[in-house]
Structure 1
Amino acid sequence: MDSTPTCDDIILYYKKLVIVLDNDKNVYVIVIFFNESAKVTGGCYKIMRIESLSIEIFTIFGKNQFNFSNGLNIVIGENDTGKSHLLRLLYSLIESNNLVAQQKADNNSYLLQKSLPQKLIDIFKPEKLAHLIKNGQNKSHINIDFSEYNIPFNFTQKTKIQVNIDKNKVPARLIKQDSLFIPTKEMLSFYDGFMSLYLTRQLPFDEIYYHLAKTLGLLVLKDISSPEKQILKSLETLLNGKLLLPQNGNKLEISLVAEGMRKIGTLSHLIANGSLNKNTILFWDEPESNLNPKLIRKLAKVLVDLSSIGVQIFINTHSLFLIKEFEILREINTQIKYFSLGIEVENNLRVSQSEDIEGLDDLVILDENLDQSDRFMKKIN
C-alpha cells in the first residue's frame, strides 16, 4: 500500500467532517481543508511534471525551446553541446521551487527572486551569475513550464543576488516536487564522509553531489509499494541479492566493487529508501558510463519500467547501444522522447526533438557508428 496518496486518490470535501469506520468498528474523524489551489492540506499532495522549457542566451543556448514527455526524455549530442547544462538547469529550477514551497510563505515571488540565482550558482559553480549568460551578452531569459504553473525569469550582467521575475505568473502557493539527480561519478563508495566535508571544506563538487549524499544516507524502508518493489527485485538480482551498503554493522568494501555495479547499487538503494518512487522526477547524467553492454541492457529495462510506473526521467547519453535498447523496449512504454543537440556553423545550438529516433534531424553517434562499421569492413576485407 502506498504511504502517500495523491490528491486524486481521495474524495474531496470542502471543510467537511469525514467519518470512517474500519473493519474493527473503530471510528475515525478526518477533517479535510482546501487551500486556494484546491490541494488538500494534509494527507496528499499534487504531483508536478516538467512540460516545457524555453531558454534564451544561457551558457551555450541561444534561443531554444524544449517540449518534454511525462515519461523518458533522452538527450543526445557531442561533447560541449549543452546536454549536462540542460539537465542541471532543470534540476536547479525544481530545487529552487522546492526550497520556496517548503517555506509555505505568501511572498513566493520575492523568495524565488533570491533562491533561483543561488541555486544556479550552487549547481553550475560560476564565479558569478553573469558568467552563465552566453558570450557575455546582456540578458538571459528562462521559463520553465510545470504541469501546475510556470516560472518565468531573467537576469542581466548586473544581477547579483536577485533575478527579475514576472510576479503575476507565480501562484500564491508553490508545490514541492520530489526530484533526484545522479551525476556521472558514482557516490556509493564515499557518500558517508562526504556530507561533513562538503559543509566544512572547499571541494571541487557542486551541490548535486551533496544532495545525493544526503539522500543515500537515508535508511531503507520496511516496506515499499508494489510497482517499485518489483523493480527493486530486478536490481537486486543484478547485485546478487545484496545492497552495497552497511548492513548489520558490517561495512562492505564498496571500493572493491566495480564502479558499474556501484551505480546499479545506487539506484537500488534510492528505491529501497523511498527516495525514488513513482512520483519522482529523475535526472541521470550518462547512466551508461562504466557499464558493460549486458548491464546497459538491464539498465535500459529498469529505466523504461520506472517511467512506466510514473517516474519522469531525463538522461543524456553517448551510447548508441543504450538508445537501441530503448527502441526495442518501446512497446513497454511509448512515452519516450529524444532530443538531439548539435552546433551549427556560427556556433549556434541546434535542437532537434522527436518521439521517434528516426525523426531527429541528425544523430552524430549514429553517423560515427556507421562510419566505424565502414572502416572496420574495409580493414578486414
Structure 2
Amino acid sequence: MANLFLKFRVYFMYIKAMKIQNFKSFKGALPWFEFTTGINYIVGNNNAGKTTIFKALEFLIHGGNKSEVLCNSCENNEDVMVEVLIDDVSESQEASLKKYNKYINNGELRLKRSSKEETIEQNGKNVTLTIRKIQIWNETKQQYENPTGFDTAIRKLIDISPIYADMHNEDYQDFGTTKITGKIVRAVTQNFQKSDDYLTLKENYQRVFGKEGIQRYLDDTETLLSNLITDQFGNSKVNFSFEFPEVNSLLKQGQINVTENNSTTSLAEKGNGLQRALALALIQVYADMNAKDDNSPYFIDEPEIYLHPLAQDKLLNSFKKLASEGNQIFITTHSPYIIRHFNSKKDSLIIIKMNKNCQKDIQYQNELLFSNPSIGEISYVAFGVPTVDFHQRLFTKIYIHWVMNRDTEVKATIPNFEEEYLKRLTYISSNHPFIERYVNTINPSKKKSVENGGWVPEENHTLPYIIRNEIDHPEVLEQGKNTWNEENLRQSIEDMLQIIKNENIQ
C-alpha cells in the first residue's frame, strides 16, 4: 500500500489506507482505499462517491452532526464506520502527545469512528465507545480505545480542510490557523511581531485598555460587583482585564477585498468563479512560498471548475511542487487536462464507478491494462467514453503480443511474419480462434486494386482493423468521412478487451 502525508506538528504521519462502511453512498464494507505520497487523482462519474472520500476523513476527525444522514442507502440498524491506517509515525517527546506513544505499533496508528456502540475495559473501568469518540487501536490489548483527551489532540495534529466545489463564500476568506489564507498571512508576517511598529501597538493597547484607559471607567462597576459578591459569598474582589490579544486572534478578523473598476467590495459579494479562482490561487502562492515546515494535506474537489485548460496546467504544477515538499494532494476531477498530469511512478489513480448490481467498484492504476495509463483508458474505465487513443493502444498491444509470443516454431518458415499476424487481426476468414466471431458490422473497408488503380470493397475485415485503418490512413476514406461511428468505436474496444482477456495478454 502507498502512503498519505498528514501533519503531526513537527512529526509526520502517513495515511496508508482508509476503509469505509455504510458511509454516505458507500453501502456495505468496501476494501481498503490505498493512497500515495504524491498526488491522488480520484475520478468517476457524478454521484459516484469521489467527494465522499473527503467527507469520510472529515467525519473521522471532526465527527458528524446528529441531523446528518450518515448513510444514504442503509437501514437504521446498519453500522457506519470509517477507519484509517497511518504509517511511519515517530514517537513524540512533546508532553501533550507523549502519553499516546503506547498506541504506536511498529510505526503504525489505526484510528476509527463508528456508530456501533461497544463497552470495553479501559484502565480498570468500563468505557462505552460511541460515534462521538475517535477510537485508537491498542495492539497489546487487541481492542480499540478512547484515551482521555485523545479527540482534542488528534484534531490538533491532523488538519483536514477540503476545498469543495460547492463551498460557501465565507469559506474562501477564512483566516483561521488551519486555513490556507491564514497560513499564508502568518508565514509572511512572522517578522512583523518583532518590529517596532508591533511593539508600539502593544504598548498603546495596554495604555488604552489598562488602568490609564478604559479600566478607569470600570472602577465603580468593579467595586459594586465586589461588594455584592462579598455580601453573598464572602470576601472577594472583582476586576476587569483586557489582555493584548494573540496575533492569531487579530488575524482572524481579516477579510479579503477585491477592487474592480475602481470599486472595492468584499470577496463574499463576488461571483463563485472569482471566489474559487482566488482559493486555488492561494494554494499556488503557498506552494511558491516553499513553506517546508508545513506538511498538511490538500483536498481539492474538481479544481477544473471555472479554469481554462492552461490555468489547470499551472495549478497542477503548483500541486506537484507541494507534493515534492511532502504535502499530500487529493484531487477529484472529470477533466482530461487534470488527468494528463498523472504520473504512475509517483501518484495514485483511484477510479470509482457503479457496477451492474449498483455497487461501488474501485480500481487503481495497477489494475488497468497499461502501466502508464493514457487519458483514453482512464476516460473509458471511469466514464465509459470511447476514444481513438485507447482504441489504437489496444490494437497495437494485441498485435505486438501475437507477433512476439505466438507460433514461434513457424516464425522462420513464414515470410513477412509480422504482416501475416497483422492479417490475423484483419480478416475474419483467418483461423485465429478469437477473431472469427468479430463480424464486420459496418461498411466493408476499401482496398486498392492494382487492376483499375481505384478503391474496391474488401470483405471480411474485422471491426478493430477497419477503425484502425481509417484512423491511421485517412486517404482511404470516401469523401473524407469515417464509415464508423462512436458506437462502433465502443464495440471495437470491447472486442479487443475480450481478446486481451481470453488470451491473458499482459
**Shorter-chain TM-score: what band?**
0.5 to 0.7
Letter in 1 for 2:39: L
Partner secondary structure for residue 353 of structure 2: strand
What displacement does 1:361 show? Answer: 8.8
**1:182 pairs with 2:163:** yes
**Structure 1 gaps, min length 5:** 1-6, 8-38, 97-118, 196-209, 225-243
Match of 1:344 in 2: 355
Partner secondary structure for residue 340 of structure 1: strand
Deviations 1:318-356 (A, max 9, x none): 1122111334xx6xxx32000000111121111112255
2:314 to 284, 298, 313: 298
Match of 2:53 in 1: 86
Letter in 2 for 1:68: F
Task: Note if contact 1:75-1:316 (Cα within 8 Å) is conserved in structure 2.
Answer: yes
Partner secondary structure for residue 180 of structure 1: coil
Partner secondary structure for residue 139 of structure 1: coil
Deviations 1:8-48 (A, max 9, x none): xxxxxxxxxxxxxxxxxxxxxxxxxxxxxxx9xxxx63111
Deviations 1:90-112 (A, max 9, x none): 2332x43xxxxxxxxxxxxxxxx
2:114 to 154, 161, 169: 154
Task: Note if contact 1:56-1:140 (Cα within 8 Å) is conserved in structure 2.
Answer: yes
Letter in 2 for 1:86: I
Partner secondary structure for residue 363 of structure 2: strand
- Counterparts of 2:293 and 2:382, CA distance in 1: 32
Task: Note if contact 1:73-1:339 (Cα within 8 Å) is conserved in structure 2.
Answer: yes
Match of 1:283 in 2: 299
Partner secondary structure for residue 340 of structure 2: helix
2:323 to 307, 323, 326: 307
Partner secondary structure for residue 81 of structure 1: coil
**1:127 pairs with 2:143:** no
- Counterparts of 2:308 and 2:160, CA distance in 1: 27
Match of 2:339 in 1: 323
Cα 1:277/1:263, change in 2 over 3 Å: farther
Letter in 2 for 1:316: T
**1:222 pairs with 2:188:** yes
Task: Note if contact 1:52-1:66 (Cα within 8 Å) is conserved in structure 2.
Answer: yes
- Counterparts of 2:258 and 2:281, CA distance in 1: 14
Task: Note if contact 2:298-2:330 (Cα within 8 Å) is conserved in structure 1.
Answer: yes
Task: Note if contact 1:178-1:281 (Cα within 8 Å) is conserved in structure 2.
Answer: yes
What displacement does 1:253 show? Answer: 7.0
Cα 1:141/1:259, change in 2 over 3 Å: closer
Deviations 1:211-230 (A, max 9, x none): 79965356353379xxxxxx
Q: How does 1:133-152 map to 2 (within 5 A)?
A: 134-136=74-76, 138-147=78-87, 148=89, 149-152=109-112
Cα 1:221/1:87, change in 2 over 3 Å: same
Letter in 1 for 2:348: K
Match of 2:38 in 1: 71
**1:368 pairs with 2:333:** no
- Counterparts of 1:362 and 1:268, CA distance in 2: 27
- Counterparts of 2:359 and 2:29, CA distance in 1: 9
- Counterparts of 1:251 and 1:213, CA distance in 2: 27
Identity among equivalent pairs (%) = 17
Partner secondary structure for residue 22 of structure 2: strand
Cα 1:156/1:70, change in 2 over 3 Å: same
TM-score, length of structure 1 as denominator length = 0.56
Match of 1:19 in 2: none
Deviations 1:111-149 (A, max 9, x none): xxxxxxxx223xxxx734564673545222331112231
- Counterparts of 2:346 and 2:189, CA distance in 1: 28
- Counterparts of 2:21 and 2:167, CA distance in 1: 32
- Counterparts of 1:171 and 1:190, CA distance in 2: 34
- Counterparts of 1:277 and 1:363, CA distance in 2: 40
Letter in 1 for 2:54: L
Letter in 1 for 2:187: L
Cα 1:271/1:220, change in 2 over 3 Å: farther
TM-score, length of structure 2 as denominator length = 0.44
The farther-off stretch of 177-186 and 256-265 is 256-265
- Counterparts of 2:117 and 2:146, CA distance in 1: 28
The farther-off stretch of 81-90 and 356-365 is 356-365
Cα 1:155/1:323, change in 2 over 3 Å: same
Letter in 1 for 2:162: F
What displacement does 1:157 show? Answer: 10
What displacement does 1:288 show? Answer: 1.1
Deviations 1:235-290 (A, max 9, x none): xxxxxxxxx94599x95775378456324333246558999965111111111111
- Counterparts of 1:365 and 1:320, CA distance in 2: 12
Partner secondary structure for residue 312 of structure 2: helix
Q: How many residues align?
A: 272
Match of 1:358 in 2: 373
Match of 1:56 in 2: 21
Letter in 2 for 1:341: I
1:266 to 278, 282, 285: 282
Cα 1:145/1:161, change in 2 over 3 Å: closer
What displacement does 1:182 show? Answer: 1.1
- Counterparts of 2:297 and 2:134, CA distance in 1: 26
Task: Note if contact 1:77-1:365 (Cα within 8 Å) is conserved in structure 2.
Answer: yes
Task: Note if contact 2:352-2:382 (Cα within 8 Å) is conserved in structure 1.
Answer: no
Match of 2:398 in 1: none
Letter in 2 for 1:343: M
Task: Note if contact 2:113-2:133 (Cα within 8 Å) is conserved in structure 1.
Answer: yes
- Counterparts of 1:357 and 1:59, CA distance in 2: 32
Structure with the larger RCO, 1 or 2 (CA within 8 Å, 6+ apart):
1
Root mean square deviation, CA, Å? 4.7
Match of 2:12 in 1: 47
